[in-house]
């Protein structure tokens, strides 16, 4: 979380949000990179409370997310339930000292458990389920017509304006502009509202199906991004060093074969998805590099983060993607 937001956020804000949703005072912080995310309780039942600062999302954007997630849930997708506060609101608000706003919303805790990339379950069966649920969300969303709120189109995302966060890295800025140009030249086909962050940290697995959560990055973008991102983060976690590219490529081919078999159980694959994978893997490098520079102050970057950022920067500057698919 940015330091400016941390200075505004204090325990009384959280205490008030807990009260407005009739939640117990006990809470566990699960994450604080872009939002403050807590596991909370009410009468021995677990929920997920998310607190968002207005510098990250507007109220209208959050409403757009919650409306879409509710539509998905009502139409059979494995996603959280959105709950109302004691006042009957999806979103509760508190004004900070500088007149900015903190927003809170409450979700169910989805079924299953987390699966790490080194776990035994991280195999073909899981990859197929991963693709199947992603395809299901794309299929259901083809019938979705928003009525309240909004979600941004990709080009409105500040993470594509990397010059805001690395003004002294001209080659990164130039490469990002080139990628933006390539995206703008793509046909508006297989394009729509997508999750845009379906990595294994954002779902639980019940042994048969995955249950996806954290729709905070949802935006209008090409469907192939939801294929590239699972591949990207799987390779990132399994191959943290830029060593054995051949081994990484073998894994990537295995992963994408199972993932797409599952995807095609629910949805026809995006046109030219294989050819577009490399571009969208590069897109993730750009947006992640911007996010890391935006969210983590230089003095808070440990050796692991610095090495990771150097790897991403190198790929951006050299116009290469994290892995090559050889199918």
Q: What is the pLDDT of residue 52?
A: 98
**Tokens, residue 318:** 């050299």
Give 107's strand partners: 48, 82
Q: What is the pLDDT of residue 228?
A: 98
> Average pLDDT, stretch 195-211?
97
> Average pLDDT, stretch 290-309?
95
> Domains along the chain?
3-108 (3.30.200.20), 124-318 (3.90.1200.10)
Looking at the chain, the whole-number percentage of residues with pLDDT higher than 70 is 99
Q: What is the pLDDT of residue 177?
A: 97
Is 90 exceeded by the pLDDT of residue 241?
A: no
Cβ-based burial of 130 (10 A; exposed 0-12, middle 13-18, buried ≥19): buried
Q: What is the pLDDT of residues 94-115, one digit of tens each?
A: 999 999 999 999 999 999 999 9
Is 90 exceeded by the pLDDT of residue 168?
A: yes
Report how far residue 119's alpha carbon sits from residue 113's, in angstroms, rounded to the nearest whole number.
Answer: 12
Confidence class for position 200, pLDDT limits 50, 70, 90: very high
The mean predicted confidence, pLDDT, of the chain is 96
Confidence class for position 138, pLDDT limits 50, 70, 90: very high
Q: What is the pLDDT of residues 212-225, one digit of tens each?
A: 999 999 999 999 99
**Tokens, residue 167:** 């003004």
> 131 near 260, Cβ under 8 Å?
yes
> Average pLDDT, stretch 116-134?
97
Burial code of 106-122, b = ≥16 C-beta within 10 A, e = fewer? bbbbbebeebebeeeeb
Q: How far is CA 278 from the centre of its chain?
A: 19
**Tokens, residue 187:** 């046909």
Q: What is the pLDDT of residue 273?
A: 97
Q: What is the pLDDT of residue 327?
A: 60
Please provide residue 29's backbone torsions phi and psi, each rounded to the nearest 5 degrees. Answer: -75, 125
Q: What is the pLDDT of residues 51-65, one digit of tens each?
A: 999 999 999 999 999
Is 90 exceeded by the pLDDT of residue 172?
A: yes
Report how far residue 158's alpha carbon sits from residue 179's, in angstroms, rounded to the nearest whole number.
Answer: 14
Q: What is the pTM of this model?
A: 0.95
Is 90 exceeded by the pLDDT of residue 242?
A: no
Contacts of 204 (CB under 8 A, 6+ apart): 110, 111, 112, 113, 114, 115, 210, 211, 213
**Tokens, residue 193:** 């509202």
Burial code of 268-282, b = ≥16 C-beta within 10 A, e = fewer? ebbeebeebbbbbbb
Looking at the chain, the whole-number percentage of residues with pLDDT higher than 90 is 94
What does the chain come to in residues?
Answer: 327
Report how far residue 260's alpha carbon sits from residue 223's, in angstroms, rounded to the nearest whole number.
Answer: 13
**Look-up: residue for tokens 């999302």?**
57
Q: What is the pLDDT of residue 149?
A: 85
């Amino acid at each position: 979380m940015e330091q400016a937001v941390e200075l505004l956020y204090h325990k009384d804000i959280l205490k008030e949000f807990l009260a407005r949703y009739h939640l117990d005072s006990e809470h566990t912080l699960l994450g604080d990179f872009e939002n403050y995310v807590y596991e909370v309780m009410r009468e021995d039942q677990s929920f997920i409370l998310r607190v968002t600062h207005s510098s990250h999302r507007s109220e209208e954007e959050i409403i757009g997310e919650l409306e879409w997630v509710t539509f998905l849930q009502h139409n059979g997708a494995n996603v959280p339930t959105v709950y109302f506060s004691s006042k009957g609101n999806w979103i509760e608000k508190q004004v900070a000292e500088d007149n900015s706003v903190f927003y809170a919303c409450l979700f169910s805790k989805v079924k299953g458990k987390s699966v790490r990339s080194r776990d035994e379950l991280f195999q073909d069966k899981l990859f197929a389920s991963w693709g199947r649920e992603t395809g299901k969300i794309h299929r259901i969303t083809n019938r979705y017509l928003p009525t309240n709120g909004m979600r941004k189109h990709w080009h409105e995302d500040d993470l594509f304006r990397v010059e805001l966060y690395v003004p002294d890295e001209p080659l990164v800025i130039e490469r990002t502009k080139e990628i933006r140009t390539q995206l703008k030249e793509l046909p508006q086909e297989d394009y729509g509202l997508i999750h845009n962050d379906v990595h294994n940290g954002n779902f639980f697995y019940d042994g048969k199906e995955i249950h996806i959560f954290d729709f905070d990055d949802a935006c209008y973008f090409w469907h192939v991004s939801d294929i590239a991102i699972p591949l990207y983060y799987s390779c990132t976690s399994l191959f943290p060093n830029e060593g054995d590219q051949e081994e990484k490529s073998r894994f990537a081919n295995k992963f994408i074969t199972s993932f797409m078999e599952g995807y095609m159980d629910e949805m026809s694959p995006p046109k030219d998805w294989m050819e577009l994978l490399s571009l969208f893997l590069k897109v993730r490098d750009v947006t992640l590099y911007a996010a890391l520079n935006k969210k983590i102050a230089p003095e808070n970057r440990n050796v692991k983060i610095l090495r990771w950022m150097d790897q991403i920067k190198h790929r951006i500057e050299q116009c290469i993607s994290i892995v090559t698919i050889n199918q």
